[in-house]
Amino acid sequence: MPHRRLKKSEPVFSITTLPDLGIDIKDIEDDFKRYYGHRLGRDENCRSVHYVYEALSMVIRDRLTERWKKTYIACKKQDCKKAYYLSMEFLMGRTLSNAMLNLGVDDVVSQAMYDLGLDIEELIDAEPDAGLGNGGLGRLAACFIDSCATLQLPVTGYGLRYEYGMFSQTIVNGEQVEEPDHWLRNGNVWEIERLEYKQRIKFGGHTERHIDKEGITRVSWVDTHDILAVPFDTAIPGYQNGTVNTLRLWKATATEEFDLQEFNAGDYAESVAAKNTAENITMVLYPNDANENGKALRLQQQYLLASASLQDVLEVWVGRHGNDFSNFAAKNCFQLNDTHPSIAVAELMRLLLDNHELSWDDAWTITRNTMAYTNHTLLPEALERWSVDLFKQLLPRLMEIIFEINARFLAEVSAHWPGDKARIARMSLIEEGDQQHVRMAYLAIVGSYSVNGVAELHSKLLQQGLFHDFYQLWPEKFNNKTNGVTPRRWLAACNPELAELITETIGDGWLTDLSLLKKLEIYVDDKAFCKRWYEVQQAAKQKLIDYKKQELGVDLNVNALFDVQVKRIHEYKRQLLNVLHVIHLYDRIKRGDTANWTDRCVLIGGKAAPGYHMAKKIIKLINNVSHVINHDPEVGNKLKLVFLPNYRVSAMEKICPGADLSEQISTAGKEASGTGNMKFMMNGALTIGTLDGANIEIREEVGDDNFFLFGLTEDQVENLRDHYNPAAIISQDEDLQRVINLLESGHFNQFEPGLFDGVIDSMKSPHDPWVTIADFRSFVDAQKRVEAAFQDKDRWTKMSIINCANSGKFSTDRTIAEYNNELWKLTPVHVAK
Ligand code: 376
């Protein structure tokens, strides 16, 4: 055992007496040289930018670690309530530039690197993204922990340390090809492995009952195949406030005795293979946002996260309070990021009942007062269900506990609605049928004191639709927390020129109180300010153009309207509606209808789940249309369509400062919130959007005149369902007819006959859930209003300023303050800077 605890010897030193590390240019340069030369063993002849990046990162990381310890000590001293954000995904992106900004050393470090003949931008770009998430839900978790640290709230993020993150996307012959993302290949200087805090996780086996001394039935879960969860910690710095919180990610490894058993049986190879099986659990992030589910490995991942994190928290609790849990719920709370970690409800019950010998009622009271659940999607196909058979096999004790929770819950339902059999079947945690399934969302609702949606409309629809029965039973549990994004990464770091202009104009308070951006509004009539705003926007566009020229070899025109849609490829997000509009513009050029034309570059990017065939076809269609348009000399600069490959956090950091128009065009009622919409708005882009998710609140903030609204409302979409007739709509709209004809004639797939039949048929079907055809005319008209506004540069600039000025609500600082004031009730912990 290499990690035995110190027994006889006790340390006679304390690291708190260390002198603080300096942050002057000289300190940074000296430390950098020491790491580069002595630690990494490199010199000026080494041409690899990676080692330079690594040496600088170690310099920054040391300064984080210093503050990290101080935060830890301050929290411990106060014995305050803590919250834990449980999430299968933390889409962190890059760390270096954010760490420098939050430490307040970005200028000094840039200068130090410059003095050494190094370009800080190049070093920042050398870092691989930590792509440990699919999209919105994972990036939200990353923005949340940034805001928690900035608000000095004692919140720890718990997640999984996937060896392979979100796949890397390349486009071959117009099609998506997935490549594994081995992001840890060159090591990760930001993490600290903490073997001393490993946890044991059980799988398989069976349960046994016995009566203890007090005559109480106790359950043991035995003959299990255990694995170990080892934590890797990353520092999460607040914005220039001395606070550094923790993101703790678990890695699965084999237990020592598992190896020994095999060794004793004489099978060396088997034992090494067993190690591999264990490590497989955290090998790869599942790249499916929303569909395809039910894989045993995914359930193992979820349980590992829940069990390791809860045991970690309970270990600290027992270390301080022994087996006295009377205050546990007052001092701890767990926020569940969707249902993915919701097995934590049953696992906390198990640990309290079986390991700490609490009564069912006491354990249940604690559980219900510590868990809170956030829902991120209304799509029924995305609701998690696990087969009872699989559950019994992998987690027999947890299945028993879920059955018991369900029996007691259904008794409550019966008491509330006597004789209402249909309601009991609807509300049961177990879905009956050919095969029984556990409904994870219901487990999360029943086991939590709070259920929230992520935008006003979404929360309302949860209450009126998906979770209506539960809302009737416990209306007080339901609430809304509109999403946000962190303004440090999504404005200050990614758009330093705009940030600088803002700070020069209104001071730097906006970095921690984004509502102050409102002060910009009085400058919309200031000619000099508007001119600078315009110039900064043009420079940001030029930077994006240069970057894309280098990456893709495409030439884009800085005076064209940059029309951007980047997000996961999904039918409900309606990239197809965007493509229909592009084809319509192409058709107008071809028929010479170009009076008063506005040049436009349409940029579309995003990944499709590898098994989502329709989404992959949509990518292929975008690329084929792009090929035809961009190679047509008649089109020239009037119109470009570019697919941006491998969309990810670091790509968005380059894209959002250069966008004029943000496409938020989902079918109303389907996008829970959206967060890309907020990033674009903050950077001064205008939105064309439906009344969906947070778009509604964005429009409320900027006013109707500064938002390009189109499309059916959620009610109208629902009312359309039984009499939707896309064929009739097409026949009555000449423009649309021409677009469909172009598609059907094979104009974009001349050498690939029939390739897009499935895509075209889906839009033409009266059963198309996304009613793309129904919104075409209204979308085209809204795009015309966009063009009119864009042609008037002064008007557009004013609208851009107004959008940025009114983006204050969409800071995660506001979102987290609401979570804290209404749900967590933590006291900020101030740390001496
Ligand atoms: C999954 C969703 C459903 C089922 C399985 C999933 C597995 C992984 C990732 C998922 N992702 C999301 O649900 C997701 O990203 N939802 C998005 O969450 C954002 C943050 O709240 C919202 O802004 C988006 O509207 C929502 O689509």
**Is pLDDT at 262 greater than 70 in this prediction?**
no
Q: Supply the residue whose CA is at minimum distance from atom 9 of ligand 1.
A: 289
**Is pLDDT at 660 greater than 70 in this prediction?**
yes
CB 111 within 8 A of CB 138: no
CB 606 within 8 A of CB 647: yes
pLDDT value at position 381? Answer: 83
- Report pLDDT digits (tens) over 678-710: 999 999 999 999 999 999 999 999 999 999 999
d(CA 730, CA 89): 42
Give the chain's mean pLDDT: 95
**Is pLDDT at 259 greater than 60 in this prediction?**
no
CB neighbour class for 579 (10 Å; exposed up to 12, middle 13-18, buried from 19) = buried
DSSP secondary structure string, 648-698?
-HHHHHHHGGG-SEEEE-PPTTT-S--SHHHHHHHTT-EEEE-S-TTHHHH
Instruction: Report CA(411)–ligand 1 centroid distance (Å).
Output: 33
Produce one character per residue of 527-556: b if its CB has 16 or more CB atoms within 10 Å, e if not.
eebbebbbebbeebbeebbeebeeeeeeeb
DSSP secondary structure string, 130-183?
EEES-SHHHHHHHHHHHHHHHTT--EEEEEE--SB-SPEEEEETTEEEEE---T
Which stretch, 13-17, 267-271, 288-292, 614-618, has highest mean pLDDT? 614-618
Residues in the chain: 833
- The rounded Cα 423 to chain-centroid distance in angstroms is 34
Phi first, then psi: give them for residue 171, nearest 5 degrees: -115, 120
- Report pLDDT digits (tens) over 137-154: 999 999 999 999 999 999
pTM (2 d.p.): 0.96
Q: In the beta sheet, which residues pair with residue 644?
A: 605
pLDDT value at position 44? Answer: 86
- Report pLDDT digits (tens) over 331-347: 999 999 999 999 999 99
Q: Which atom of ligand 1 is nearest to the CA of 293?
A: 5
Q: Which atom of ligand 1 is nearest to the CA of 140?
A: 20
pLDDT value at position 5? Answer: 65
CB 821 within 8 A of CB 370: no
The CB density around residue 201, as the number of other CB atoms within 10 Å, is 25
The CB density around residue 559, as the number of other CB atoms within 10 Å, is 11
- The mean pLDDT of 237-261, rounded to a whole number, is 88
Distances (CA, A) of 179 to 167, 168, 170, 382, 610: 6, 5, 8, 25, 11
Confidence of residue 266 (pLDDT cuts 50, 70, 90): low
Would you state the torsion angle of the CA atoms of residues 311, 313, 315, 318, taken in this order, to the nearest 10 degrees? -130
**Is pLDDT at 12 greater than 90 in this prediction?**
no
Q: What is the DSSP letter of 811?
A: B
- Report pLDDT digits (tens) over 750-808: 999 999 999 999 999 999 999 999 999 999 999 999 999 999 999 999 999 999 999 99
pLDDT value at position 257? Answer: 66
Instruction: Report CA(158)–ligand 1 centroid distance (Å).
Output: 18
Q: How many Å from the N-terminal Cα to the C-terminal Cα in the chain?
A: 39
Q: For ligand 1, pick from 292, 339, 373, 377 the residue to mutate: most ligand atoms within 8 Å of CB.
A: 377
CB 791 within 8 A of CB 561: no
- Report pLDDT digits (tens) over 215-247: 889 999 999 999 999 999 999 999 999 999 999
Q: Is the dihedral of CA 259, 263, 267, 268 positive or negative?
A: positive
Q: Supply the residue whose CA is at minimum distance from atom 11 of ligand 1.
A: 289
d(CA 349, CA 771): 44
Q: Supply the residue whose CA is at minimum distance from atom 23 of ligand 1.
A: 674
Q: For ligand 1, pick from 85, 91, 137, 677 the residue to mutate: most ligand atoms within 8 Å of CB.
A: 137
The CB density around residue 277, as the number of other CB atoms within 10 Å, is 13
Instruction: Report CA(290)–ligand 1 centroid distance (Å).
Output: 7
Distances (CA, A) of 315 to 113, 288, 308: 44, 33, 10
Which residues form the pocket of ligand 1, taking CB atoms under 6 Å from any ligand atom?
134-137, 140, 288-290, 338, 376-377, 382, 454, 483, 671-675, 693
Q: Is the dihedral of CA 438, 440, 445, 447 positive or negative?
A: positive
The CB density around residue 99, as the number of other CB atoms within 10 Å, is 22
CB 194 within 8 A of CB 232: yes
Q: What is the DSSP letter of 424?
A: H
Instruction: Report CA(385)–ligand 1 centroid distance (Å).
Output: 16
Low-confidence winner among 16-20, 44-48, 713-717 (lowest mean pLDDT): 16-20
Query: Which amino acid is present at 767?
Result: H
Low-confidence winner among 292-301, 616-625, 736-745 (lowest mean pLDDT): 292-301
d(CA 715, CA 217): 53
Which stretch, 44-53, 76-85, 197-206, has highest mean pLDDT? 197-206
pLDDT value at position 267? Answer: 73
d(CA 665, CA 659): 16
Q: Supply the residue whose CA is at minimum distance from atom 1 of ligand 1.
A: 289
Confidence of residue 294 (pLDDT cuts 50, 70, 90): low
Q: Supply the residue whose CA is at minimum distance from atom 4 of ligand 1.
A: 290
Confidence of residue 304 (pLDDT cuts 50, 70, 90): very high
Q: For ligand 1, pick from 376, 381, 486, 612 the residue to mutate: most ligand atoms within 8 Å of CB.
A: 376
Instruction: Report CA(377)–ligand 1 centroid distance (Å).
Output: 6
Q: Which residues contact residue 253 at a Cβ distance below 8 angstroms, ignoring those fewer than 6 apart?
A: 198, 227, 228, 229, 230, 275, 278, 279
Tokens representing 239 are 């914005």
CA nearest neighbour of 236 among 254, 249, 253: 249
Instruction: Report CA(316)–ligand 1 centroid distance (Å).
Output: 32
d(CA 603, CA 605): 7
Query: Which amino acid is present at 388?
Result: V
pLDDT value at position 69? Answer: 94
Confidence of residue 525 (pLDDT cuts 50, 70, 90): very high
d(CA 42, CA 51): 8
How many CA atoms lie within 13 Å of 133's alpha carbon, on the beta-carbon side? 25
**Is pLDDT at 584 greater than 70 in this prediction?**
yes
Q: Which residues are catalytic?
A: 376, 567-568, 573, 675, 679
Tokens representing 564 are 């951007």
CA nearest neighbour of 661 among 577, 604, 609, 723: 604
Tokens representing 78 are 């106060």
Low-confidence winner among 15-19, 26-30, 317-321, 421-425 (lowest mean pLDDT): 15-19
**Three-state SS at 601:** strand
d(CA 697, CA 552): 36
- The rounded Cα 682 to chain-centroid distance in angstroms is 18
- The mean pLDDT of 626-646, rounded to a whole number, is 97
pLDDT value at position 15? Answer: 76
